[in-house]
Amino acid sequence: MSSVAPVDLHIAPATADDLPTIAEIHVRSWQAAYRELLPAAYLAGLDIADRLARWRMVVDRHGPDDALMIATTAVGPVGFVSAGRGRQAPRTDQGEIHAIYLVENAWGLGVGRALFEVCARHFRDRGFALAHLWVLADNARAIRAYRAWGGTLVTDDAIETTIAGRTLREFAVEFDLVDPDPTAS
């Protein structure tokens, strides 16, 4: 069953003034989403100032295919998405969702789907027929969400990443962006 986004949801391109909020959402989301997957001490040590510095570097390198969008409701900012051209072969001809994170109290409300839909439109406008993202193999909640958005988990396409001294597997999730009925709105 899909969620319906809050009626007061507003998604807009992020500005430099939004970066501190994005950094905070990023850290708080990791602390909530990965509490079963990563050591508590590591998550507690995540630093918003460090994340802010990283986001400033990301934005400084933005190219024409890149987007950073922030989602807000009447209660304030609740999530963001960062997207652009695929970063790794053989997926450089696809769109890639580099990051999509929500505050915990926005989970299950349709905010993530709304951010994804804005991202999919962004990709289609740039001529991409496919998009993907990477998800930790053990992140069942996120995998369920991505499947609900129409994504296909590609378990034979895995990469390994090391976080907090742990080697974790990430799977690709692919999204077909081709609209089967171009006259549909």
Mind listing the pLDDT tens digit for each residue in 145-168? Answer: 999 999 999 988 788 999 999 999
Looking at the DSSP bridge assignments, the partners of residue 136 are: 170
Assigned domain for 25 exists: yes
Assigned domain for 139 exists: yes
DSSP symbols for 28-81: HHHHHHTTTTS-HHHHHT--HHHHHHHHHHHHHT--TT-EEEEEEETTEEEEEE
Q: CATH number for the domain including 40?
A: 3.40.630.30
Assigned domain for 182 exists: no
pTM: 0.90
Q: What's residue 5's pLDDT?
A: 66
pLDDT at 100 over 90: yes
CA distances from 74 to 10, 174, 177 (A): 9, 32, 30
Assigned domain for 1 exists: no
Assigned domain for 134 exists: yes
The range of the structural domain enclosing residue 130 comes to 10-176
> Is the distance from CB of 29 to CB of 81 less than 8 angstroms?
no
Which of 65, 63, 57, 51 minimizes the C-alpha distance to 22?
Answer: 51
Domain count, the chain: 1
Over pLDDT 90: what percentage of the chain? 79
pLDDT at 119 over 50: yes
For residues 49-53, average pLDDT: 97
Q: Which residues contact 132 (CB under 8 A, 6 or more apart)?
A: 86, 91, 94, 95, 96, 97, 154, 172, 173, 174, 175
In this structure, the chain runs to a length of: 185
Assigned domain for 135 exists: yes
For residues 172-179, average pLDDT: 90
Which of 124, 111, 136 minimizes the C-alpha distance to 9?
Answer: 111
> Is the distance from CB of 14 to CB of 76 less than 8 angstroms?
no
Q: What's residue 179's pLDDT?
A: 64
Assigned domain for 165 exists: yes
Return the structure tokens found at 163.
Answer: 């976080």
Assigned domain for 90 exists: yes
